[in-house]
């Protein structure tokens, strides 16, 4: 057979075989590049395309090297591992790339690959029915191929099907090409060339070329695909992902080219500008499409290099919609090629802002009313109650001296008046603290002197119940405290102890140093605090849970809350221990003072309450 072909024919055959094997190697390399991105479906499909094309090219190399019909048929079997599937795989890759039929893609794949699978099986069994190749004729005058095949019915069906799926792929790419960015357009061109070149080489059969040049077309496709993968990141991201982000993003996006023509937009942008959907053909001039929003058109056309942000308001139905607009330039290799207008809906934020302003105004009015209310309390209620306390004290002393009947009932009334006055005093102190009128000015104070001053002020009330007040504080214990706040803490604790200590009882104030803190305690041997009462006045409870003023624990609770707050301002805390029937000890902590800024010599200058 070699002598029949001649030396020149052998050289041509060997040259073609080498080229075909090189083409198969190039396609195997592209399959390897695709395998590296195998986590992406489109990359896996690309790998199958290149493997099928490599079988096609290598099988055809064996075909041109064959010396008899048996070898040629074996070579055709190798070719048909890839021939039936390559075009359909490419079309399926286009479907993946464009995001077509995402919901039923698996069922679509079964339909698409039905004919290729049938062709593969029919060629495998061709000797039994000759539906793919009817017969093989020896080419006595031609160098390549050795045999000419007479095509059968299913060969023609498969050829027509291949042209149909390739044409369908081109049609899917057309609308996507016009709506895509420049980098995605380059990827589309690469994929189109990958199918167009083999199709062009295959069409040479119709012009009398007897040699099948289709594998060489796939070799060119392999080179183009490799270039696209390495140069344009063909398989590193798909336009489908970009399209999904573009279409589903909540913000409106409008893409414009360098001529200020609208190229594309998403559904959210059409929600802002319904006129976008009325324009049938794009690109379209922004001024013509958005003629109803001249302020936006002016901003777009006047934009210079750099980002620009501006507000935009538009009436829609019965509601005024507010948007924050961001106009950015799109660059390719450092050159501006277009603009992107981003529209963020801030209507809810604007409406919340109006509601907050209304609430702030109402709160300001309520706060002003509160200030007026406390002014009335301070001037029109406190002073009359203070006078009433003085009068009841004088009258009580006279009733006791004259032995008037029912003097004890009057003493009960006197206690209620004093409790009310104490509650008003605490309320005013709390108001001044919350309103910022009490300024925290800590200085160094001699604790013994401050406590003695508080005892002196409480002495009259304690004397009425023959209660003994004593202090056990070292003369050198210094604390760093705000004098006015410290006086209020001591006043409340002493008043509370006197109230719950029986006639002839004792109250003792002590202090011990513990590191950088001084623990001050007020201990009485009164009735103690019952469990239910202790729960009612617990210091970690919310202020709103304070009992009503008419309750006997109301003023105590209020005073303790205020004392605890002032102790906290000093960086300390306040707590109590109580045994019913044996007495109660209230304790609080203050920071020690080294004597800097000592104001202990002016104890009497503070407000003793």
pLDDT band for position 548 (cuts 50, 70, 90)? very low
Q: Give yes or no for a cis peptide into 145 (omega within 30° of 0).
A: yes
Question: pLDDT value at position 84?
Answer: 93
Mean pLDDT of 509-537: 85
Question: Which of 63-72, 225-234, 510-519 is most confident?
Answer: 510-519
pLDDT band for position 542 (cuts 50, 70, 90)? very low
pLDDT band for position 605 (cuts 50, 70, 90)? very low
For the question of whether the overall pTM of this predicted structure is more than 0.75, the answer is no
Question: pLDDT value at position 385?
Answer: 67
Question: pLDDT value at position 544?
Answer: 35
The CA-atom distances, in angstroms, between 208 and each of 58, 158, 204, 567 are 24, 20, 7, 105
What is the distance, to the nearest Å, from the Cα of residue 500 to the centroid of all Cα atoms in its chain? Answer: 57
Q: How far apart are CA 43 and CA 236, in angstroms?
A: 9
Q: Which comes out higher in pLDDT, residue 414 or 51?
A: 51
Question: pLDDT value at position 329?
Answer: 86
Q: Which comes out higher in pLDDT, residue 580 or 426?
A: 580
pLDDT band for position 409 (cuts 50, 70, 90)? low
CATH class as words, domain 241-350: alpha beta
- Asked if pLDDT for residue 545 goes beyond 80, the answer is no
Report residue 230 as tokens. Answer: 């390495």
Mean pLDDT of 283-300: 89
Cβ proximity of 572 and 589 under 8 Å: yes
What percentage of the chain reaches a pLDDT higher than 70? 73
User: Of 85-99, 129-143, 538-552, which gets the smallest average pLDDT?
Assistant: 538-552
Question: pLDDT value at position 481?
Answer: 92
SS3 letters across 493-560? HHHHHHHCCCCCCEEEEEEEEECCEEEEEEEECCCCCCHHHHHHCCCCCCHHHCCCCCCHHHHHHHHH
pLDDT band for position 214 (cuts 50, 70, 90)? confident
Provide the CATH topology of domain 7-237.
Rhopdopsin 7-helix transmembrane proteins (1.20.1070)
What percentage of the chain reaches a pLDDT higher than 90? 19
At a CB cut-off of 8 Å and minimum separation 6, what does 13 contact? 5, 64, 65, 143, 144
Q: What is the pLDDT of residues 115-128, one digit of tens each?
A: 999 999 999 999 99
CATH topology agreement for domains 241-350 and 443-591? no
Cβ proximity of 24 and 58 under 8 Å: yes
Domain ranges (residues) in the chain: 7-237, 241-350, 362-434, 443-591
Sign, Cα dihedral of 411, 416, 420, 422:
positive
Question: pLDDT value at position 416?
Answer: 66
Question: pLDDT value at position 176?
Answer: 74
Report residue 481 as tokens. Answer: 């405290």
E strands present in 317-449: 319-332, 335-345, 443-446
Mean pLDDT of 222-241: 62
pLDDT band for position 231 (cuts 50, 70, 90)? low
At a CB cut-off of 8 Å and minimum separation 6, what does 404 contact? none
Question: pLDDT value at position 523?
Answer: 94
Question: pLDDT value at position 1?
Answer: 40
Q: Which comes out higher in pLDDT, residue 318 or 568?
A: 568
Match 């083409």 to its residue by tokens. Answer: 23
Q: Which comes out higher in pLDDT, residue 213 or 96?
A: 96
DSSP string, 314-354: EEETTEEEEEEEEEEEEEETTEEEEEEEEEEE-HHHHHHHH
Torsion of CA 392, 398, 402, 407, to 10 degrees: 20
At a CB cut-off of 8 Å and minimum separation 6, what does 263 contact? 178, 179, 255, 256, 257, 282, 283, 338
Q: Give yes or no for a cis peptide into 402 (omega within 30° of 0).
A: no
Q: What is the pLDDT of residues 450-490, one digit of tens each?
A: 999 989 888 877 887 889 999 999 989 999 998 888 988 99
Q: What is the pLDDT of residues 70-103, one digit of tens each?
A: 998 999 999 999 989 988 998 898 888 777 777 7
Cβ proximity of 511 and 447 under 8 Å: yes
Question: What is the SS3 assignment for 265?
Answer: strand
Q: What is the pLDDT of residues 155-207, one digit of tens each?
A: 999 989 988 998 898 888 787 777 666 667 777 777 777 777 777 777 766 66
Cβ proximity of 420 and 389 under 8 Å: no
Q: How far apart are CA 580 and CA 241, in angstroms?
A: 74
Mean pLDDT of 225-237: 62
Q: Checking DSSP bridges between strand 443-446 and strand 308-316, what pairing results, if any? A: unpaired
Residues 443-591, CATH architecture = 2-Layer Sandwich (3.30)
Q: What is the pLDDT of residues 366-377, one digit of tens each?
A: 777 666 666 665
Match 């963020």 to its residue by tokens. Answer: 344
Match 């001024």 to its residue by tokens. Answer: 287
The CA-atom distances, in angstroms, between 521 and each of 80, 378, 504 are 100, 31, 20
- Asked if pLDDT for residue 550 goes beyond 50, the answer is no
Q: What is the pLDDT of residues 415-450, one digit of tens each?
A: 667 666 666 666 666 666 556 555 678 899 999 999
Q: Which comes out higher in pLDDT, residue 359 or 115?
A: 115
């Amino acid at each position: 057979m070699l002598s029949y072909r001649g030396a020149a024919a052998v050289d041509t055959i060997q040259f073609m075989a080498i080229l075909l094997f090189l083409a198969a190697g190039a396609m195997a390399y592209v399959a390897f590049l695709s395998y590296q991105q195998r986590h992406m479906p489109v990359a896996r499909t690309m790998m199958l395309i290149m493997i099928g094309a490599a079988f096609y090219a290598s099988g055809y190399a064996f075909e041109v090297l064959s010396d008899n019909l048996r070898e040629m048929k074996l070579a055709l079997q190798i070719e048909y591992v890839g021939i039936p599937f390559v075009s359909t795989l490419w079309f399926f890759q286009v479907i993946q790339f464009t995001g077509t039929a995402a919901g039923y893609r698996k069922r679509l794949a079964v339909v698409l690959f039905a004919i290729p699978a049938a062709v593969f099986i029919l060629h495998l069994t061709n000797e039994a029915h000759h539906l793919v190749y009817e017969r093989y004729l020896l080419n006595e005058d031609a160098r390549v191929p050795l045999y000419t095949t007479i095509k059968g019915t299913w060969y023609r069906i498969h050829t027509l099907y291949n042209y149909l799926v390739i044409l369908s792929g081109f049609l899917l790419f057309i609308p996507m090409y016009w709506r895509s960015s420049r980098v995605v357009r380059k990827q589309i061109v690469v994929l189109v060339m990958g199918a167009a070149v083999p199709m062009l080489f295959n069409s040479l059969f119709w012009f009398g070329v007897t040699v099948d040049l289709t594998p060489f077309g796939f070799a060119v496709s392999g080179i183009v695909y490799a270039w696209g993968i390495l140069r344009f990141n063909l398989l590193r991201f798909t336009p489908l992902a970009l399209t999904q982000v573009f279409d589903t993003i909540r913000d409106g996006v409008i893409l414009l080219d360098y001529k200020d023509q609208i190229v594309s937009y998403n559904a959210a942008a059409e929600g802002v500008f319904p006129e976008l959907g009325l324009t049938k053909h794009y690109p379209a001039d922004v001024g013509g499409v958005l003629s109803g929003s001249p302020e936006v058109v002016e901003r777009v056309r006047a934009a210079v290099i750099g980002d620009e942000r501006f507000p935009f308001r538009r009436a829609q139905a019965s509601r005024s919609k507010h948007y924050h607009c961001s106009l950015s330039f799109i660059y390719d290799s450092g050159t501006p090629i277009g603009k992107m207008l981003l529209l963020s809906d801030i209507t809810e934020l604007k409406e919340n802002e109006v509601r907050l302003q209304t609430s702030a105004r109402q709160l300001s009015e309520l706060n002003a009313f509160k200030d007026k209310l406390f002014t009335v309390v301070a001037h029109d209620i406190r002073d009359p109650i203070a006078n009433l306390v003085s009068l009841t004290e004088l009258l009580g002393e006279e009733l006791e001296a004259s032995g008037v009947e029912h003097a004890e009932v009057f003493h009960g009334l006197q206690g209620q008046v004093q409790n009310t006055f104490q509650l008003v005093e605490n309320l005013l102190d709390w108001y001044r603290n919350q309103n910022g009128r009490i300024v925290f000015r800590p200085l160094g104070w001699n604790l013994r002197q401050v406590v003695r001053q508080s005892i002196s002020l409480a002495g009259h009330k304690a004397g009425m119940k023959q209660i003994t007040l004593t202090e056990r504080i070292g003369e050198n214990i210094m604390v760093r405290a705000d004098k006015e706040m410290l006086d209020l803490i001591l006043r409340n604790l002493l008043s509370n102890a006197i109230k719950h200590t029986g006639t002839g009882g004792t109250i003792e104030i002590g202090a011990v140093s513990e590191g950088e803190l001084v623990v001050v305690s007020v201990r009485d041997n009164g009735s103690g605090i019952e469990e239910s009462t202790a729960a009612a006045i617990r210091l970690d409870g919310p202020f709103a849970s304070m009992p009503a003023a008419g309750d006997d624990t109301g003023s105590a609770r209020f005073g303790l809350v205020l004392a605890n707050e002032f102790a906290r301002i000093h960086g300390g805390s306040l707590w109590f221990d109580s045994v019913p029937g044996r007495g109660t000890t209230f304790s609080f902590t203050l920071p020690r003072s080294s004597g800097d800024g000592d104001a202990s010599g002016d104890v009497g200058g503070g407000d003793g309450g």
